[in-house]
Amino acid sequence: MNRQTKQILDDYEQSIEGIDFDMRMDLAEIITSSLADNRWSQVDLGSRSGIDPSVLSRLIHARENFTVRTVARIVHALGLRGKIQAVLPEATTNLRLSYGHTGVGDIDGTNIKAENPKRSWIVAGPSHADAA
Amino acid sequence: MVAVHGYFVGPDYRTEVWISARAENELHKYIRRNKRFGSQLERTIKRYAESGFAQWEEKGILRREGARSWRLGRSDLFRLLGGYGGSKEKFLILDAGRKPGQRRGRLIDERVAEIERTLEACDWVEVANEPTDEANPR
């Protein structure tokens, strides 16, 4: 990779837009992972969450901006809780890994902390009812 | 035989991404010309690699193109073409290019046919990255 390309990618990753895009991808990952785990279609999740499937499709494509209310509807439909966390940039890979390898229901967000948070992150974990 | 080198490889990735020099060159040209969409495309591939491509089939920007071939592309006409290399744990990006319009066009048809042939015949080989490249560029 030449220096110019690498600089463009690094600049994007560190920009507000890059953080915004990563958070959209977080939600997209939560949606697609849970669709697979539950063997639901987008229509199924749409009917359970009250979100139009076309909006879900745009969320999966990371094209759609979303509100906290939208995230709440989705995680509620999945029987999960949502949490926004701010973590160090280098912590994001490990966070995604723990998500990707264990599935939506296994995240224990309380283990992920940052003393000097610089990046926001969305995670979904078991609801309090499930945890109990 | 198509030579591919590691792009997103290692324990961080549930699906490793290997890429041909031609496809990588086209991708990087695209990133330099379209900083925003190009960065988003590259980042999306990285995220797909981390979570595993299987999760995104026909859901995000990973769409089936032929019996074995898949395409990756965001909202404009630039497309990456490839397919799985034996298992869902390895994805090969073999070619890239810009669609002439909303329809695929003959050029893309020919490229997809060549990718189908390459994947069916396992006519690809993994090569080490050039010494000047980083093993994981991102």
| pLDDT over 90, % of chain B | 76
> Which domains, from first to last, does chain B contain?
2-126 (3.30.2310.20)
Of B12, B55, B75, the CB nearest to A32: B55
Report pLDDT digits (tens) over A50-105. 999 999 999 999 998 999 999 999 999 999 999 988 888 776 654 554 443 333 33
Higher-pLDDT residue of A116, A24: A24
Q: What is the pLDDT of residue B136?
A: 53
Among chain A residues, the shortest Cα distance to B49 is held by A100
Domain-located, residue A127 = yes
Domain-located, residue A7 = no
User: Quick one: pLDDT band at residue A125, thresholds 50, 70, 90?
Assistant: confident
Chain B residue numbers touching A6 (CB-CB < 8 A): 137
Say yes or no: A38 contacts chain B, CB-CB below 8 A. Answer: no
Range of the domain at A65: 19-131
Domain-located, residue A14 = no
The CA distance from B78 to the nearest CA of chain A, in Å, is: 16
Domains in chain A, number? 1
Higher-pLDDT residue of A38, B130: A38
Say yes or no: A33 contacts chain B, CB-CB below 8 A. Answer: yes
Domain-located, residue A115 = yes
Q: What is the pLDDT of residue A98?
A: 42
User: Quick one: pLDDT band at residue B100, thresholds 50, 70, 90?
Assistant: confident
User: In whole angstroms, how large is the CA radius of gyration of chain A?
Assistant: 15
The CATH number of the domain holding residue A30 is 1.10.260.40
The answer to whether B43 contacts A12, with C-beta atoms less than 8 Å apart, is yes
Report pLDDT digits (tens) over A13-49. 999 999 999 999 999 999 999 999 999 999 999 999 9
Chain B residue numbers touching A19 (CB-CB < 8 A): none
Of A9, A21, A96, the CB nearest to B31: A9
